[in-house]
């Protein structure tokens, strides 16, 4: 039990609100879903009849999702993004069967572990952050506290100045998404510890970058 506990916590340590919510949801899943389904499966389980073998059905569902949907063999794939959330798109993902498959930010782990979960149920404990891309769910609080986006903006501006661009030209080359992610990190309504849902879902707070300030 120590390995999955450590593995899951290393993913959500970057977001204290998510850290709290996953513990609440874990309790609900264990007590409500897993407990009730375990009793149901024991009641109807009949290894001699595939139709009445829920474990067999769950394995087929997991295998189908990982082997067909995620890999793009018979489906769209999943959303894959870069660390700064600039180039995200839905695409096919090759299963990651090596050590890199255990990296929570490698989408290939989702495919390989769903395929493996058809045979080893515990395989579903491994993925987390690859399914919450910045474009769809917004950045995490500590990314702003650490100046993650701000440092990248300054790096790009400095590189532009080194290429003899003017300051305004260098700033104009900053992707709007990158500026937006840095901006909402300084908004107390969007950067709080205990937020709910996507941070850029149009709930009355800014959902797009309106341009660089000019003084």
Q: What is the pLDDT of residues 10-57, one digit of tens each?
A: 767 767 777 777 778 778 777 777 677 777 767 766 656 655 555 666
Per-residue pLDDT averaged across 134-152, rounded? 76
Give per-residue pLDDT as tens, 180-204: 888 776 555 554 444 444 555 545 4
The CA dihedral of 33, 34, 40, 42, to the nearest 10 degrees, is: 180
CATH code for 138-205? 3.10.680.10
**Is a pLDDT exceeding 60 seen at residue 95?**
yes
Residue 138 contacts residue 190 (beta carbons within 8 Å) = yes
According to DSSP, the β-strands at 78-80 and 89-91 are antiparallel
For 127-141, what is each residue's pLDDT tens digit? 446 666 777 767 766
Q: In the block, which residue shows the tokens 């993650």?
A: 148
- Listed ranges 56-65, 111-120, 171-180; the one with the highest mean pLDDT: 171-180
pLDDT at residue 206 tops 60: no
pLDDT value of residue 126: 44
pLDDT higher for 62 or 128? Answer: 62
pLDDT band at 71 (very low <50, low <70, confident <90, very high): confident
Rounded distance between C-alpha atoms, residue 138 and residue 161, angstroms: 29
Give CA–CA dist 184/28, Å, rounded: 31
The pLDDT score that the predictor gives to residue 142 is 67
Asked if 118 contacts 62 with a C-beta cutoff of 8 angstroms, the reply is yes
Q: What is the pTM of this model?
A: 0.45
pLDDT over threshold 60, residue 121: no
Higher pLDDT among residues 210 and 204, named by residue: 210
Average pLDDT for 104-129: 69
Give the C-alpha separation, 70 to 64, whole Å. Answer: 9
CB 51 within 8 A of CB 44: no
Question: Domain-by-domain residue ranges, the chain?
Answer: 2-133, 138-205
Residue 81 confidence (pLDDT) above 70: yes
């Amino acid at each position: 039990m120590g390995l999955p506990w450590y593995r899951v916590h290393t993913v959500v340590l970057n977001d204290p609100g998510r850290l709290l919510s996953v513990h609440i949801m874990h309790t609900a899943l264990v007590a409500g879903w897993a407990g009730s389904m375990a009793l149901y499966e024991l009641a109807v389980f009949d290894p001699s009849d595939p139709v009445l073998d829920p474990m067999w059905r769950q394995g087929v569902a997991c295998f189908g999702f990982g082997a067909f949907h995620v890999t793009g063999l018979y489906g769209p794939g999943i959303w894959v993004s870069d660390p700064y959330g600039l180039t995200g798109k839905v695409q096919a993902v090759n299963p990651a069967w090596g050590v890199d498959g255990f990296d929570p930010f490698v989408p290939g782990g989702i495919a390989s572990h769903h395929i493996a979960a058809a045979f080893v149920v515990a395989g579903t404990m491994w993925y987390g952050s690859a399914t919450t891309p910045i474009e769809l769910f917004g950045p995490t609080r500590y990314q702003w506290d650490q100046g993650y986006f701000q440092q990248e903006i300054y790096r790009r501006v400095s590189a532009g100045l080194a290429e003899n661009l003017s300051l305004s030209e260098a700033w104009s080359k900053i992707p709007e998404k990158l500026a937006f992610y840095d901006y909402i990190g300084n908004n107390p309504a969007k950067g709080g510890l205990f937020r709910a849902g996507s941070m850029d879902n149009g709930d009355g707070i800014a959902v797009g970058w309106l341009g660089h300030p000019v003084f």
